[in-house]
A and B are shown apart, each in its own frame.
Chain A
Amino acid sequence: MQVVSRRPDVRQVREPIRWNPLGIAGWLTTGLFLFPLAYLLWESVSDGEAVARLISGTVAGPLIRSIALAVATALLASVLGVGVAVLVTRTDLPGRRFWGVAAALPLVIPSYVAAAALRAAFGSGGLVPGIPRPSGFGGSLLVLAAVTYPYVLLPVAARLRSMPASLEEAGRLLGSSGAMVFRRVVLPQARTAIISGALIAFLYALSDFGAVSLMRYDTVTRAIFASRLADRPTALALGLVLGVIALAVAAATRSSRDNSGANVASSVRIYSLGRARFAAMAGMAGVIGLALVAPVAVFVVWWLRSTGSSTWVPSVQTLWDPALHSALAGIAAGGLAMVLLLPAAYLVARRSSLLASAASASIASTFALPGLVLALTLVYWVLQAPGPIDRLYQSFPLLILAYVVHFGVQAHRSSSGAVQALPERYGEAAQVLGAGAVRRFLSIDLPLIMPGVIAGGGLVMLSTLKELPATLLLAPTGFDTLATRVWGAAADGFLAEVGITSLVLILMSGVLTWFLVLRPSGLADPGADESQDGSVYHR
C-alpha cells in the first residue's frame, strides 16, 4: 500500500479551486485572521506619534533581542524535536512508547509557570543548588525551547511514522549506509514537518511574555507590557511590529510540497541503536528531566511544603469547575480549529500562488501577537460590529473563536501538511470511476488526512488549556480556568496553589491528549513493533 508519486512540476496548480465551496470557505477563514492586524494597523496609522516613536529607534534593542530569542528557540526546538521524534519512531530505543508520550507533555506547561519552576529549581536556595539559576537570554531560551520542542516533535513523529519505506530501501540498495540514508532520504522527507514546527516555536517565542519577564530578558513583549497602560498607542504599534515579522517569516517558510505520498498501515524502517542506545536514553532523560520532571518536582514541593501549616492551600474540589471549563474550552477550540482550517489547508496545499502564500502568512500572524493585544483587537471588532454581534461579547462562542484565531496556525500547518502528502492517484482514480467530489473527500481524503488534522486540533487544544491573557479578558464573566487560577495564585505569591493547580493542568492535558489526540490519530501506536525483525537495519 505504498504510493510514491513523482511529479515533474510540483508547483503545478492541480484543480481550479476559486469558485468551489471549499475555496470560498478557505478564503473566508483566512479573512478572519486579518482582522487583528488590520485594527493594529489602523490604530498605528491614525496615531502618528506612536509610529514616530517606533522609528526613533528605542525599539531597536528589544526588537533585536526578540528576533534573536525567537530564532534560537526555533533552532533548539527543531534539534530537540527531531532528535526525540527519530528516537521514538525509528529506533529500537527501549521504552520508546513511554518516552514518546512523556516527551510531548511539556507542551502543556505555560511558559510563565515553567520559568518560575526552573528558577526555583536551580541556583542557591533552590532544589538543586549546584546548577546555576537560569536567567537572561539563556534562561529564556531554555524555557521556551523546553515548552516548544513538542511542536516539532509531534508533526515530525507523525511524518516519520507514515513515510514509505520504499525510498529508504532504494537508498540501501544503491549502497548507502543507514546513517547516510537517514540524512539524505529521511530528513528531507520530514522537511515540511520540521519547518512547520520550527515556525510555531518561532512565533511562540516572539509572542511570549511570561518566560522573558521572569528570566529578566528585555524583549518587545516586555516593552508592550510596560507601556500598555501609560502609552497604549505604542503598545499596539509594537504588537503590529510582531505581527508583521510573523507575516514575513511565515510567507518565507511556507512549506513546499513533499514529493512523496503518505503510506497507510504499513511498516517503516527501524534503525538499531546498538551501543548508542544508552547515550540515547540518557539524552532523552535529560530533555524530559529538564522540560517535565523539574517543573513537576517543583510543583509537588510547593504543594506539599505547605500542607498542614497553611491556610493558603485550596482543596482539590475547588479545582473541579476550572478543570471542567478548561477541558470544555480546549476541546471546543481544538474541534473548531480542525473544521474551520481544513478548507484553508486545501487552499494553501493545492495552490502555489502568491495569494495562497498570503493566506498562509495571515493565519500565522495572529500567533505572534501577545494574547492581551489579540484580545483587545477582538474587543474592538466585536463591539464595533453592526447588529446584534456585540451580544456575543464575552460569550463562550467568542472566546472559542478567539482561541482559534490566536492558535489557528498550529492546526493550519498540520492540516495543510497532511493534505500535501495526499497521494493524488487515489483521487484521480476515484474521479475516473465517477465518484463525486464530496464522496471522494469523505471516502479517500478524509481517512488519509485525519491523523494530521487531529494532531493540529490537538495542538490548538493544548495551547488553549494554558492560554491566559485573552482568557482573562474575553471569557464569560466568572468562567475561570485552570490557567486563570494559576495566575491568581501566582499573582499573590500563593505557591502551594500554583503547584497543585499546575499539576492538575498537566495531568488533565495528558489525559485529554491521550484519548482525544494520540489514540484516534494513531500517533499512540508504536509505529512499528520490535517484532518486525525483518525491517531492522544494523549499522
Chain B
Amino acid sequence: MGGKFVLLTLVVALATTACGSGEGEALVVYSGRTENLVGPLFEDFTAETGIEVEIRYAPSEDLALLITQEGQKSPADVFISQSPGAIGLLAGANLLEKLGPDTIERVPERYRNSEGRWVGLSGRVRVLVYNTELVAATDLPESVFDLVEPVYEGRVALAPANGSFQDFVTGLREMHGDAAAIEWLAGMEANGSPTYANNSAIVQAVGRGEAEMGLVNHYYNLRALAEDPSLTSANHYFEDVGSLVIITAAGALRSSEKLAEAEQLLQFLLDTESQVFFTSETFEYPLAVDSEPASGLPAFADLNVTTYDFNDLSGGLSRTKELIDASGLEAP
C-alpha cells in the first residue's frame, strides 16, 4: 500500500509543478510546423535574445481552429502555419496584427499578406512524385492539366482533404478561374484518381508501387529517399500551376501582449541562418530576399513561383473546399 501513496504523492507533486509553469513569462508560439522542422531555431532564438519560447506543436488547421475558439483569451503570441490557408483564415477573422516594415520587407511582396498580417517563411513546391520502375520518363506531363487525359486514368494519387492540395486548388482558381478548377477536379474524379489521407501516405504508396504517381509537396520524397535510398521514387516538376509554390507563413496575434518580442522572433526566422536551416535541414526553399536554396533542388527562379493572398480570393478556403466536395473526389 505504501508504494501507492509514494506514487500518488509523486503525481500530485509533478502535477503542481506542471501547473505552476507557463505563468505568462515566455513567448508562446503555436506552431503548425513540427518540432523536427523548426524546433532548433527556437533554441537558437532563446540563446541569442534571452527570450524564453514555449511552443505548442499541432496541425496548422487544428491550431487555427483553436485560436478562433480562444478568441481574445488566446495565450498564443505567434502562429506559424504550414499552409497559407490556415493563417489566411486568421487574417480574415481579423485575429492577426499588422507587422512592421522591418519584418515584412524581408520577403518579396508575393510571399506576404497584402495588409502585412503575415509573412512567408519557406516555400514548398507541388510536384508529381512517380515510381521510376512503373512510369517511363516520356509519360510525364508538362502540364498538370494533362492529368485528366485517359492515359493517366487511375494512375495519379491525390489527397483531397490535405491542406497543401487545397492550397493548390485555390492557386488554380486564382490563376485560371473557378471554371477551370471545377473542370480539372471533375476530370481527375472521372479519371478514377485514387485518394489518400496526406502527402506522406501518397509518397509511401508510390515508393512501394501501390500507386504509380501522386500530387504532393516536393520535400516528402526527398526525405523518404534520405531515409531509404533504395526507394524507386522521384519528383517531376510541372511547367505550370501544377508546380505552384506553397508557402509556410507566420504572424503575430492581435491579442498578444508581447508584440515586440513576437516580431523579433519573426525577424529571426527570416535571418539568413534560419533560412539556411529551412533549406538544408528540410529541403524547402528559403523566401527571404538574400537566401539561396540547398544544392540538389531546382533553382527557384526556374519554377512557376506563384503564390496568392487569401484575402484577395472571395470565399477563399471554404469556396475551394466546396468545389472539391462538389467534384465528387472523396477524401479518405
Contact = CB atoms under 8 A, between A and B. Distances in A.
Interface string A434-473: 0000000000000000000000000000000000010011
Interface residues of A, number: 66
9 tightest A-B contacts by CB? Answer: A125-B208, A216-B332, A396-B18, A472-B58, A230-B318, A477-B54, A493-B200, A488-B34, A213-B197
Given A332-B15, A494-B227, A478 B86 contact: no
B18 A476 contact: yes
A229 B170 CA distance: 15
Interface in A485-539: 488-497
Nearest to A126: B208
Contacts of A395: 18-19
B56 A472 contact: yes
Interface in A294-325: 305-306, 309-312
B180 interface: no
A285 B200 CA distance: 31
Majority SS at the chain A contact face:
helix
Interface in A185-222: 212-218, 222
A383 B70 contact: yes
A490 B86 CA distance: 20
Contacts of B318: 230-231
A376 B22 contact: no
A379 B55 contact: no
A331 interface: yes
A472 B62 contact: yes
B89 interface: yes
B192 to A, nearest CB: 13
B132 interface: no
B201 interface: yes
B64 A229 contact: yes
Interface string B188-218: 0000001111111101100111100000000
Interface in B52-106: 54-59, 61-66, 68-71, 73, 75, 85-86, 89
Interface string B238-258: 000000000000000000000
Nearest to B56: A477
Nearest to A235: B65
Interface of B: 7-8, 11, 14-15, 18-19, 21-22, 28, 34-37, 54-59, 61-66, 68-71, 73, 75, 85-86, 89, 160-161, 194-201, 203-204, 207-210, 220, 223-224, 226-229, 317-318, 320-321, 325, 330-332
A231 B319 CA distance: 10
Contacts of A227: 321
Given A123-B210, A310-B227, A493 B203 contact: yes
Contact of A493 (B54, B62, B69, B224): B224
Contacts of B35: 480, 488
Interface of A: 116, 120, 123-126, 133, 212-218, 222, 225-232, 305-306, 309-312, 328, 331-332, 335, 372, 375-376, 379-380, 383, 390, 393-397, 400, 469, 472-473, 475-480, 484, 488-497
A497 B61 CA distance: 23
B200 A397 contact: no
Contact of B70 (A124, A379, A497): A379
Contacts of A394: 22, 75
A108 B311 CA distance: 44
A478 B55 contact: yes
A238 to B, nearest CB: 14
A311 B226 contact: yes
